[in-house]
Structure 1
């Protein structure tokens, strides 16, 4: 006697089963951004509300409110529009626009004059934030003291010189992680620093102004210098990819690179006048 099993393409009652094929996430070849929109939604650390991260024309990230607003309700200086995954700081002529989350965030002080509609949105978000705090959904963690080179041997956020500029990393040199997406649709776990590739050197360089920045008194600061490496290797660091994903340009990025253009005035807390300990140099040699 042969068992009578139902086909997997139909339900037990015989009705057809709708099968939705899985579509892989891809980035168009003509797109100016290699960033996937999947996984770019996050929560504000101050108010707990959803934010959408986009890349600006200067390759810096910006957090936008997830919903569109009427252009007449948004001040001209706060209007943003999206084109091919890039955020542009002006309107595109349509009656709708996006607004930075910093303007609506109830955890920040308003610095511009806003319309009654924007003020009402801020009050609504403030009420929701209070509910999240009361229910324990979000907690305001106390600031933790940063480690100094004398404690950890390496700056908590390294200053890196590459491609004729200086950038502030999101963490120590050995903690910079690849931003590419793996085949399992997760972020690559490998670091950008690889012992099989040429490494930079820690050196003391003057804290001089760059790109029109204000001049500071003559002083030396610890910088991880990559300027002597080949251009392709410096570009790999700038795009924040491991050697394996640097060789596959078709792979998309799952998150934005954590670089910030270094400014001696804004990032004065990350100025270190001493080189890291010798163990760090041996590891990077």
Structure 2
């Protein structure tokens, strides 16, 4: 007796086989945020507790507490809400809100007046931090030290669209944040080796948020102001040239630009221009 082989569209018993075709993920052109929520959960570098990273309306990142809280327990200046993936610094009229992690972080001073409920949560997070440290699962970050004035800065100050930002990595190591077709983060740098690049300049520090800054101090700035407007937008979005031309590609990470402040980021101010790399013997 010969068995009848099952067709490609059915199982051995004759039932229909359900074939699921993967759908390519695209971001709508009208979406206010390109950041995918997958993978945007991290841990605070100072206390080790969980945080959720979001973008603000000005594209700056903010770390929020992962759980919603009753708006009645949160002071009005500390209330945040989410809309279309963007974090906004006020309530939305509902009975619930989100809270910046900086308010609850046991390693920081609260930025607003906290009540009994928030103080209880701070103590719970402090106990969790101590438990992580005791078990060796977390080590607090040490304060940053000023790097020597040789070579390329580890965290340079970059000027984009007349605004200064502190980069997370050296200029050559700033990595594209877009998602590839294989759903991994792009490995290409933002710096285009075949295109125009920025120019290192000595520019005045200038007071930004406080008059205590010294306006006469000159610091090394990677200036992109001479580049076309579209090129500066590509740098601020932290995308490589290939993904800058693909508006439908999503982001797998936040752009790691911090608005530069001369007082907060004094340890990263360089008073001398980076030296070019030494040539090897035989190079011309």
User: 1:73 and 2:73 equivalent?
Assistant: yes
CA shift in 2, pair 1:16/1:41, >3 Å:
farther
Q: Which residue of 1 aligns with 2:63?
A: 63
> Which stretch shifts more, 77-86 or 217-226?
217-226
CA shift in 2, pair 1:73/1:132, >3 Å:
same
Query: For the aligned residues, what is the CA RMSD?
Result: 2.9
Q: Check conservation: 1:180, 1:241, Cα contact below 8 A.
A: yes
Q: Distance in 2 between matches of 1:12 and 1:122?
A: 59
Q: Which residue of 2 aligns with 1:192?
A: 190
Q: Check conservation: 1:148, 1:154, Cα contact below 8 A.
A: no
1:15: Cα distance to partner? 9.6
Q: Check conservation: 1:202, 1:275, Cα contact below 8 A.
A: yes
Q: Which residue of 1 aligns with 2:172?
A: 174
> Which stretch shifts more, 13-22 or 72-81?
13-22
Q: Check conservation: 1:25, 1:36, Cα contact below 8 A.
A: no
CA shift in 2, pair 1:44/1:250, >3 Å:
same
Q: Check conservation: 2:165, 2:260, Cα contact below 8 A.
A: yes
1:240-279 aligned within 5 A: 240-279=238-277
> Which stretch shifts more, 246-255 or 101-110?
101-110
Q: Which residue of 1 aligns with 2:282?
A: none
CA shift in 2, pair 1:208/1:119, >3 Å:
closer
Measured against aligned partners, the alpha-carbon deviations of 1:148-172 in whole angstroms (never above 9, x if no partner) come to: 232xx11111111221222211121
Q: Check conservation: 1:82, 1:88, Cα contact below 8 A.
A: yes
Measured against aligned partners, the alpha-carbon deviations of 1:142-193 in whole angstroms (never above 9, x if no partner) come to: 456453232xx11111111221222211121111111111112111111111
CA shift in 2, pair 1:4/1:123, >3 Å:
farther
Q: Distance in 2 between matches of 1:122 and 1:6?
A: 62
Q: Which residue of 2 aligns with 1:229?
A: 227
Q: Check conservation: 1:154, 1:280, Cα contact below 8 A.
A: no
Measured against aligned partners, the alpha-carbon deviations of 1:179-209 in whole angstroms (never above 9, x if no partner) come to: 1111121111111112111111112122224
Number of corresponding residues: 278
* TM-score of the superposed pair, with normalisation by structure 1: 0.85
1:96: Cα distance to partner? 0.6
Q: Check conservation: 2:47, 2:140, Cα contact below 8 A.
A: no
In structure 2, the gaps of 5 or more residues are 280-284
1:256: Cα distance to partner? 1.1
Q: Which residue of 1 aligns with 2:107?
A: 107
* TM-score of the superposed pair, with normalisation by structure 2: 0.86
Give the secondary structure class of the aligned counterpart of 1:138. Answer: coil
Q: Distance in 1 between matches of 2:16 and 2:152?
A: 61
Q: Which residue of 2 aligns with 1:158?
A: 156
> Which stretch shifts more, 177-186 or 128-137?
128-137
Q: Distance in 2 between matches of 1:192 and 1:86?
A: 24
Q: Check conservation: 2:53, 2:63, Cα contact below 8 A.
A: yes
Q: Check conservation: 1:61, 1:256, Cα contact below 8 A.
A: yes
CA shift in 2, pair 1:135/1:14, >3 Å:
farther
> Which stretch shifts more, 173-182 or 213-222?
213-222
